[in-house]
Structure 1
Amino acid sequence: MTKKNSPASDRNPVFNIRIAIPNKGRISVPIRELIEKSGLGIIDNGDRTLIARTRDKHVEILYARPIDIPEYVASGVADLGITGHDMVIERGSDVKELLNLGFGSASVVLAVPDDSDINEPGDLDNRRVSTEFPGLTRRYFKKIGVRPVIVPVGGACEATPSLGISDAIVDISSSGTTLRQNHLRIIDTVLKTSTYLIANPRSCINKKEKIDEIHLAL
């Protein structure tokens, strides 16, 4: 006699692959659209859900802050992730960047007030630099042999020079409009970034067939 799957097993399939994607932010909507076009689709369980099903019963979605996604993937909490290259570099996580998805292109830049006497990165020795990317910023300045005071901030970085918090900022910029609105000028590009599909190295071996399938679909 053939044993049929019970309704309980249909409702609770074994998820072989978990994909972490941003819960909000500038690239969250394009990522959701890409997943839909890939054939996976997302079946939301409500506005406040952290985990959602997809049309593939072996794949689920984990919503997370973009900055946390590299570490979730590196630790194995998620097998795959979609986030910015800048987030991967900031966290320094042990992940594989499988695919540049070709959207969300931007630059992490070093900028100073229009009327500042600072004209090059070397002028920032012992000066204050505010940023939402302290890890990336420290590595950048160490590489060029400059020692500023790094001031980590949680948001509105572009406003910090006018508030007297810092002499310069390291921030992400796509069009430069926000910088111009805050009377800031770019003096160097720290990093070029875009949106990447990243993977846990162990999952790439243990779950290669399914990951290759998702990679190809995206």
Structure 2
Amino acid sequence: MRMLKLAIQKNGRLSEQSLELLRTCGIRLSNGDRKLRAASTNFPLEVLFLRDDDIPQYVEQGVADIGILGKNEVLEKARKVEMLDQLGFAACRLSLAIPREESYAGPAYFNGKRVATSYPRILQRFFAEQQIEAEIEEIGGSVEIAPGIGLADGIFDIVSTGSTLLMNGLKEVETVLCSEAVLIATPGIASEPLALLEQLRFRIRAAQNAVIHKYILLNAPDTALEEICSLIPGMKSPTILPLAREGWSSIHSVVGEDVFWEVTGQLKRAGAEGILVVPIEKMIL
């Protein structure tokens, strides 16, 4: 049986998070030492460990069927690949930054300026959309030092916390792209690996749904059941079980992580007691 071939970054935070996603999906790899490739022992999957900027080319050419990497790299390389899913981790943004002492009134600031970046395609598209004429200096690394050594007037680079900009006397002034890890695939992938890909995507969705939901259990007087059920409707409807104490029931449901605290306060006011919130390992809708 042909294995599904997945390319991921060979080291770094994105690599670790990609491997953690596979573990969450119940996929075990035989290679604990992180060589160039590893096979799963319980799913027909082979993992190739590559440089992140090489992954789009390998996927386009079918050397790897699929890949996990940042959306920013997919857009910058502009390879013919299919972007399937956003994976919800490795979030960052690509932003323009200038020296802290400079005043900034909008993108027109960059007219006639030099901007250093490792992402010239994305920046060029942005400048074209904004009708800005600027000189782009493409450099491979340490972009943040460019203004300090006189190479550029500003930079365009990945920003996570902003601490690197601060240390180099820069300030973020314009967010051009919000990025996160994405799953990409070879266009026109063959039927056999395509079937395996859909199995993998099914597992990924179950893992993602679990992350953004909590299982909630509580006790409530029967007189409050209608109000409480309206607050935590769950996937279809809550489960209600009678308690030994007459006039009381136990309610089990699922609540979204983003509204959890707001809903919990409303449940308390409605009369709920003994509220338990439990992580969900997998959630299949």
Coarse TM-score class (shorter-chain normalised): 0.7 to 0.9
Structure 1: unaligned runs, 5 residues or longer: 1-13
Contact kept, 8 Å, 1:53 with 1:59, in 2: the verdict is yes
**Percent of aligned positions with the same letter in both sequences?**
32
- Give 3-state SS (helix, strand or coil) of 2:198's partner: helix
Query: Could you tell me which amino acid in structure 2 is paired with residue 123 of structure 1?
Result: Y
Quote the offset at 1:135 in angstroms: 1.3
Cα shift at 1:15? 4.2
Q: 1:184 to 1:23 in 2, by over 3 A?
A: same
CA gap 1:19/1:214 in 2 versus in 1, 3 angstroms? same
Write out per-residue CA displacement over residues 112-148 of structure 1, whole angstroms, 9 at most, x where no aligned residue: 0111255432122231110111111111111111121
Inter-partner Cα distance in structure 2 for 1:141 and 1:204: 38
Give the CA deviation at 1:208: 2.3
Which has the bigger relative contact order, CA under 8 A and spacing at least 6? 1
- 1:32 matched to 2:19: yes
Tell me, yes or no, if the aligned pair for 1:15 and 1:60 is still in contact at 8 Å: no
Q: 1:105 and 1:46, CA in 2 relative to 1: closer, same or farther beyond 3 A?
A: closer
Q: Is the 8 A contact 1:20 1:69 kept in 2?
A: yes
194, 197, 217: which one aligns with 2:183: 197
TM-score by length of 1: 0.87
Q: CA RMSD in A?
A: 1.8
**Closer, same or farther in 2 for the Cα pair 1:119/1:184, shift >3 Å?**
farther
Bigger CA radius of gyration: 2
Given candidates 174, 177, 181, the residue that maps to 2:160 is 174
Task: Report the 3-state secondary structure (helix = DSSP H, G, I; strand = E; otherwise coil) of the residue aligned with 2:58.
Answer: helix
Cα offsets for 1:162-203 (capped at 9, x unmatched)? 111110100011111211221211221110101111111211
| Structure 2 residue aligned with 1:97 | 83
Distance 2:95 2:31 in 1: 36
The answer on 1:129 being equivalent to 2:115 is: yes
String of CA shifts for 1:77-120, please: whole Å, max 9, x gaps. Answer: 11010001111111112222222111111110011011125543
Report if aligned partners of 2:27, 2:43 keep a CA contact under 8 Å in 1: no
Q: Partners of 1:206 and 1:59 in 2: how far apart? A: 12
Gaps of 5+ in 2: 205-285
Offset, 1:216: 1.2
Paired residue for 2:5, among 7, 11, 18? Answer: 18
User: For the residues of structure 2 that align with 1:63 and 1:21, how far apart are their CA atoms?
Assistant: 5
Partner of 2:262: none
The answer to whether the aligner puts 1:146 opposite 2:132 as a matched pair is yes
